[in-house]
């Protein structure tokens, strides 16, 4: 599974979960820690500015430990209502490029990249 974090200008973090890894609050918190380092590295001029995360109501986003971590960092969570059409532009921007990259490639197994 791929998790993409970006701002208006650049992809900050593209994280690939290992195959068969359970995506839970602990795994998501580890990804958020990588995101925090990426923000500090790629947006060091803005790293002291507020970070806003657009979350849906998935359990790993709403877990107490995840929410507590983001509160400690003073990152704001923007709630995203389920089935909102506002999320579609992100999908339309990201997935055509991924499909273009994968077009006409054949894979013999899941492990081949």
The pTM assigned to this predicted structure is: 0.67
pLDDT at 89 over 60: no
State how many domains the chain has: 1
Residues 27-33 have a mean pLDDT of 92
Confidence of residue 93 (pLDDT cuts 50, 70, 90): low
Question: Is 22 inside a domain boundary?
Answer: yes
Q: How much is the pLDDT for 35?
A: 92
- Please indicate, yes or no, if residue 66 is contained in any of the structural domains: yes
What proportion of the chain, given as a percentage, has pLDDT over 70? Answer: 74
16 in a structural domain: yes
Residue 21: pLDDT over 60: yes
Instruction: Please report, for the domain that includes residue 28, its CATH number.
Output: 3.30.420.10
Which of 30-39, 83-92, 101-110 has the weakest average pLDDT?
83-92
Is residue 113 a part of any domain in this protein? no
Q: Does a structural domain hold residue 111?
A: no
Q: What are all long-range contacts of 34-41, with beta carbons under 8 Å and residues at least 24 apart?
A: 35/5, 36/73, 38/5, 38/12, 38/13, 39/12
The helices-and-strands tally (H runs, E runs) of the chain is 4, 4
- For 90, the 3-state DSSP assignment is helix
Is residue 80 situated within a structural domain? yes
Q: Is the pLDDT of residue 46 over 80?
A: no
Structural domain for 44, as ranges: 2-102
What's the pLDDT at 18? Answer: 86
**CA–CA separation, 52 vs 54, rounded Å?**
7
């Amino acid at each position: 599974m791929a998790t993409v974090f970006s701002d208006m200008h650049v992809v900050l973090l593209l994280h690939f979960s290992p195959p068969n890894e359970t995506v839970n609050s602990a795994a998501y918190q580890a990804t958020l820690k990588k995101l925090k380092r990426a923000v500090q590295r790629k947006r060091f001029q803005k790293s002291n500015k507020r970070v806003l995360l657009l979350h849906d109501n998935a359990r790993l986003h709403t877990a107490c430990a995840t929410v507590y971590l983001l509160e400690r960092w003073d990152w704001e969570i923007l709630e995203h209502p389920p089935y909102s059409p506002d999320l579609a532009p992100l999908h339309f921007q990201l997935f055509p490029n991924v499909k273009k990259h994968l077009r006409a490639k054949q894979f013999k197994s899941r492990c081949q990249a």
